[in-house]
Amino acid sequence: MKSNIFTFLKSFFLIFIFSNVIAEEPRFYIPDSPPIAAKSYVLMDHNSGKILAGENENERRSPASLTKIMTSYVIFKRLKEDFISLDDEVKISEKAWKTGGSRSFIEVGKMIKLEDLLMGMIIQSGNDASVALAEHVAGSEGTFVLFMNDYAQEIGMTNSRFENSSG
């Protein structure tokens, strides 16, 4: 009889303990997301392609310097294809020299190594360097923009349309 009561109490005690453990709230804290000041954004998981967060992600917006990411993409693609080389000497046109906004301060008529222009575009966000690179790769910025839009379509940027190489 003693062992039956002991077994019953032991079982009751274990059930009581485990039921409290299971019903207990998680002991970790997940903070709220920080506020995002952007008018539109999208965050996508690279591996799954699943959209994790977004607001006004399909709203048409001027991408500003993000355009230089596509310009860089085209330049690196053409480098990979051996169409151009980092050692190419690029002649700076008057159009590139006159381009407003953020600048690398390149001088008209000068010959500058493609690698240096690429750094000026990426690091300094140089609009003048972007135009000089576009002209070197495609003959004109307008033709270069055709490459940008073609590549954008290829990688699924169906709601994007580029109008220049600098943003």
Please tell me the predicted confidence (pLDDT) of residue 73. 94
Mean pLDDT by runs of 10 across the 167 residues of the chain is 54 52 62 82 84 84 80 96 97 95 92 96 94 98 96 87 92
**Could you give the 3-state DSSP secondary structure of residue 111?**
strand
| Alpha carbon distance 31, 85 (integer Å) | 48
Inter-residue contact 60 to 44 (CB < 8 Å): no
CB 78 within 8 A of CB 137: yes
Assess contact for 61 and 135: CB atoms under 8 A.
Answer: no
pTM to 2 decimal places: 0.69
Architecture (CATH level 2) of domain 64-154? 3-Layer(aba) Sandwich (3.40)
> According to the model, what pLDDT value does residue 99 have?
93
Q: Indicate the domain borders of the chain.
A: 2-55, 64-154
Any catalytic annotation for residue 65? Answer: yes
The position carrying tokens 């039956």 is 4
Q: What are phi and psi of 82, to 5 degrees?
A: 60, 25
What's the confidence (pLDDT) of residue 36?
Answer: 84
What Cα–Cα distance (Å) separates residue 165 from each residue in 17, 39, 97?
Answer: 66, 23, 14
Of the chain, the end-to-end C-alpha distance in Å amounts to: 87
pLDDT at 137 (0 to 100)? 97
Q: Which residue is catalytic, options 102, 104, 125, 165? A: 125
Concerning whether 19 is annotated as a catalytic residue, the answer is no
* Cα→Cα distances 163→48, 70, 141, Å: 31, 12, 9
Report pLDDT for 126. Answer: 94
Predicted confidence at residue 25, as pLDDT, reads: 61
pLDDT of res. 22: 52
Query: Token digits for 19?
Result: 């039921």
Handedness of CA 104, 107, 108, 113 (dihedral sign): negative
The two tokens of residue 42 are 């999208």
